[in-house]
Amino acid sequence: MVNVIAVIDIGKTNKKILLFDADFDVVYRNATRFDEVLDEDNYPCDDIESIENWILSEIKRIQKEGVYCIKAINFSTHGASLIYLDKNGERITPLYNYLKPLNIEEYKEPYESYGGKEEFSRKTASPAYGMLNTGLQILKLQKEKPEFWNKVAAILHYPQYLSYLFTKQITADFTSVGAHTATWDFDNMQYHQWVADYKLNLPTPQNGKEAILTNFNGQEIAIGTGLHDSSSSIIPLLEKEKNKEFILLSTGTWIIAMNPFSKETLTQHQLKNNCLCFMTPEKQQIKSSMQFLGKIHEVYLTALSNHFKVDIDKHLHLQLNKKLCQELIHENSRVFLSEGIDEDFEAHPNLLKYYANYETAYYQLVFEISKKVINGIKLISDKNAAIKEIYISGGFNKNLIFISFLKLLKNDIVIKISDCKNESALGAALMMKSYI
């Protein structure tokens, strides 16, 4: 049998299990999707019951087949998701959707009691995002669902709940707690005072390399505590580039620029411009710029396809037109995106009537996205530490138009394409390397 580390990698769309061998090559991969279900307010959410049943049955099946010997299991999931357990360790609520509406104005008290909205958000490195701040999710449950809240004995972030399925132990990790939760004090690198004052009783985070030895289905397996996927995705590069400083541009629905080498405290200016901090599994700050630009790109691909009557993947077949790139940079027009922080994530097909062809409209869209990305990179760079190397991972690392705009807009950077695949899953696997 081949010794492997299993990683359960849960995104909003795809749910995957990957097996890594001792060389950290993927030797097995299985992916699936689940239809969303409705919570008690008829709002769509992940079908957590089906997901947990699938995870447990997949691990049991791999054990039974006998081709691979699972020595360790770890977890990587999207952030901003919580599970509440009762005194018997049973799940109380659905896995609420982080896109569910939450009116910040109804939750002013923590902000007002701890230095005001700007200072509280700066200190917790968490822009006031509503449900994306899991601390506010907890307050929402307290306020709106006392029938649930009165039963709560433990609160787990999503990765730690998946770990709990195997270990039945309550844990926390730095990457999940550090991901715009509004519960962590980045000035003092501990839970913010409000967590104790409001008696939230959150578990103490532990180093991501620690595991819990557990007997599962007759086999002893080291179970990791799990990681927030964006934070996990930078681990392979940190392992590979031990003596070099770099910025990772993680591209997908969110485009996130991450700088794990920033020594400066987050400023009000950065916070107001969509910057925040994540944490590594070892409690190190990762200064980040987080923008929903991949979503904007996605909705405009549909609008472009419909308007110009072309295939939705036409952008993948466009030739790189450097002359057009330079012309658009010289014109410096703004058509599709807002001047400041984007709050509108819908396409406006009426704007396409100004363009004679698909190519010029698409190039304009990518120019505006690229300009915002470069601004995000500049914002998270320390004043006297100009980092030259930018790694690009995810969907945009094959987009030559995007890469060309980045180079033209900031010609002092060296762009490298991350050849790493399944970054967040690999990051989670690397945390378990001492157990294989």
> How many distinct helices (H) and strands (E) make up the chain?
16, 21
Q: Quote helix, strand, coil % in the chain, to nearest 5.
A: 40, 25, 40
Ranges of H-type helices in 157-266: 158-167, 174-177, 193-197, 229-232, 235-240
Instruction: Please report the pLDDT score of residue 384 as a whole number.
Output: 85
Amino acid at 46: D
Residue 406 makes CB contacts below 8 A (sequence gap 6+) with 370, 373, 374, 390, 413, 415
8-state DSSP, 434: G
Instruction: Please report the pLDDT score of residue 344 as a whole number.
Output: 79
Angle at 82 between CA 201 and CA 151, to 5 degrees: 55
Inter-axis angle of helices 400-409 and 322-331, to 10 degrees? 50
d(CA 227, CA 279): 10
Structure tokens at 140: 């929402």
8-state DSSP, 91: B
Q: Are 105 and 130 contacting, i.e. CB atoms less than 8 angstroms apart?
A: no
Angle at 390 between CA 389 and CA 396, to 5 degrees: 155
Residue 28 makes CB contacts below 8 A (sequence gap 6+) with 4, 17, 18, 19, 62, 68
Q: How far is CA 111 from CA 146, 296, 330, 394, in A?
A: 22, 30, 43, 35
d(CA 394, CA 231): 14
Bridge pairing between strands 205-206 and 172-173: parallel
**What do you get for the CA distance between the two ends of the chain, in Å?**
13
Of 52, 50, 86, give the one whose Cα is nearest residue 162: 52
Please report the sign of the dihedral spanned by the C-alpha atoms of residue 312, residue 316, residue 321, residue 322.
positive
CB atoms within 10 A of CB 58: 16
d(CA 101, CA 340): 22
d(CA 280, CA 138): 24
Q: Tally the residues of the chain.
A: 436
Q: Are 153 and 124 contacting, i.e. CB atoms less than 8 angstroms apart?
A: no
d(CA 20, CA 7): 8
d(CA 102, CA 105): 9
Angle at 148 between CA 147 and CA 149, to 5 degrees: 100
d(CA 78, CA 230): 8
d(CA 426, CA 138): 30
Structure tokens at 402: 């995007």
d(CA 256, CA 237): 15
d(CA 277, CA 290): 10
d(CA 179, CA 202): 15
Burial (Cβ within 10 Å: 0-12, 13-18, ≥19) of residue 203: middle
| Residue 141, phi-psi category: left (phi > 0), alpha (psi -120 to 50), beta (remainder) | alpha
Residue 300 makes CB contacts below 8 A (sequence gap 6+) with 336, 347, 365
Of 126, 254, 270, give the one whose Cα is nearest residue 186: 126
Instruction: Please report the pLDDT score of residue 184 as a whole number.
Output: 97
pLDDT in tens, the chain (436 residues): 999 999 999 998 899 999 999 999 999 999 999 999 999 999 999 999 999 999 999 999 999 999 999 999 999 999 999 999 999 999 999 999 999 999 999 999 999 999 999 999 999 999 998 999 999 999 999 999 999 999 999 999 999 999 999 999 999 999 999 999 999 999 999 999 999 999 998 999 999 999 999 999 999 999 999 999 989 999 999 998 887 899 999 998 889 999 999 999 999 999 999 899 999 999 999 999 999 999 999 999 999 999 999 999 999 999 999 999 999 999 999 999 988 777 778 899 999 999 999 999 999 999 999 999 999 999 999 988 878 899 998 889 899 999 999 999 999 999 998 877 899 999 999 999 999 9
